[in-house]
Every structure is written in structure tokens, then in C-alpha cells.
Copies of this chain bind each other. A is one copy, B any other.
Amino acid sequence: MRTEQDTLHATPCRECPLRRLPAIKTNTLDEIDFIQRQKTAEISYRAGAALVQEGQRDERLFTLLSGWAFRFKAMPDGRRQILNFLLPGDLIGMQGRLFDEAPHGVEALSTVTLCAFTRERTWDVFREYPELAYTLTWLCAHEERMIDDGLLSVGRRTALERVAMLIAHLWSRARQLEMLANGVLVFPPTQAHIADALGLSAVHTNRTLQILRKRGLLALANGVLSGVDELGLKRLARYDLPETSRPLY
């Protein structure tokens, strides 16, 4: 059930709020205008909307302008694995190559706004703006690295470590995107989402969160995350890699 509300060009690319962030790669005005020309629509969906249907072709390619979403794979018997969470600036639909079926679904976690592009024109990027194509590839590689982290968590970390890792990771990303308002983050994923992302049951995810709360590593209630001890969580998760301080996009 799509409640598309096509507000074309509501946000001119030159004034894109994401561009103000130090975590986002800067582009030349020329490049930005090119992106603006490629952009075919700006679409909003409600929480719970299916942005990409698993196993279906979709001619469009999106960029997440605002809100939360997640990529997932489902099995015929109902089991579901969340592959990663999507935050503003993330690409949607890159993996499902030109004319291929989407190998995964994408669902909105909150009200989201997407910038839509057509797949066909992707080719123009490579021909006319190699610098942007380079960025595109980099984004793809970057997403892969995040999934690698997720795979390590699900494969080799305990439940406590997994939850700690995920919260620390999302908190860190949200921070870099300046989504925090004095130590508080609106956090749309439910415990069931966290469970599906970590390969845990919802019940055990709940108990695990309580332990982290009792240890004073985080506070999570009513869709609001706060009191996050990022370092403590990462230490608990045995995540010793240095924080990337460089621009992310």
C-alpha cells in the first residue's frame, strides 16, 4: 500500500540538508546540478511501507533523504533477516542490478523521503561524471563493509555483544549524521527489528537489552535511545578497530 505523494523537486539538490554534513562527501556545483537533472521525483512513504518488494523488478533507484529504513531477506516459512539499517544518505536498490529482480526487500521504519532516479540513466553517470561513478562504487564498497561487520556479529558474537555492537554502530552513524538532539536519538526500530538484525529471538533480545540498561550502557524506551556509552558498548562487543574519523561519504 503505497501512499506516494509526489512532491517533485521539493528539495533542490543544491540545498540538500545532507550536504551540510562533514560526513558527506562534497561535490562540485556542476556535479550537484547533474544529480538534480537525474532526479526524477521526491517521494514520501509512511512507516511500514515496502519501498522495494523482494523478488520484484523495479526500474527506480533511490537515495534516502530522511528517515529510517532497512534491507531484509525473508524465507518462505516466515523467518526474516535484516541485512542492515538505512539512514539518510544511503542508496537503495543498488544491488538489484539493471533489470534484475531485487534480491531483498526494503521497508520504511519511519516516515521516509526518497529521491528517485531511474536505473537506465545510471549509465550516464559513468559516461559523463566519472568522479560521481567513483563515489557510487565507494558507497557500494562501504555498505559491504558494514554488512561484513554484521556478519561477524551474527556469526561470532554472543547476544550481549551483538546488541551492544548494533546500538553502538547505529548511535555512531546517527551522530555523524547529526541526528542526535542533546544526547537523545529518536530510534524507530522495535526490539523485533533488532532481533531480526542480529539473528536472535525477540524475547532474548529483550532480556539482553535489560542487562545493558542495568549496566548503564544505554537507555532505550518508547522509541527513544539515550544515555549511550558508545565506548563502553564497543569495548563490551570487543570492537577494537579505530573509529573512522574521516568523511564517510
Contact = CB atoms under 8 A, between A and B. Distances in A.
Interface of A: 55, 71, 73, 75-77, 79-81, 83, 94-95, 97, 100, 103-104, 123, 126-127, 130-131, 133-134, 136-138, 140-145, 147-152, 154-157, 196, 198-199, 238, 240-241, 246
Taken together, the copies of this chain in the complex come to: 2
27 contacts: A73-B149, A73-B151, A73-B152, A76-B240, A77-B238, A79-B156, A79-B157, A81-B152, A81-B155, A94-B141, A95-B141, A95-B148, A103-B241, A123-B134, A126-B126, A130-B130, A133-B134, A140-B140, A140-B141, A144-B144, A144-B147, A147-B147, A151-B151, A151-B154, A154-B155, A154-B199, A155-B196
A75 B137 contact: no
A126 B79 CA distance: 40
Looking at chain A's contact residues, the main secondary structure is: helix
The 5 closest A-B pairs by CB, nearest first: A155-B199, A126-B130, A81-B155, A79-B156, A81-B152
A32 B14 CA distance: 39
A12 to B, nearest CB: 27
A103 B103 CA distance: 25
A156 B97 contact: no
A244 to B, nearest CB: 8
Contacts of A198: 155
Given A75-B238, A81-B155, A134 B144 contact: no
Contacts of A241: 55, 103
A58 to B, nearest CB: 15
Contacts of A97: 138, 141-142
A158 B116 CA distance: 38
A73 B141 contact: no
Nearest to A138: B97
A194 to B, nearest CB: 12
A6 B146 CA distance: 34
A172 to B, nearest CB: 15
A143 B136 CA distance: 15
Contact of A148 (B104, B238, B246): B104
A107 B118 CA distance: 39
Given A73-B152, A83-B151, A95-B144, 15 more contacts: A55-B241, A71-B148, A75-B156, A77-B238, A80-B156, A94-B141, A95-B145, A126-B131, A140-B140, A140-B141, A143-B144, A144-B147, A147-B147, A151-B151, A151-B154
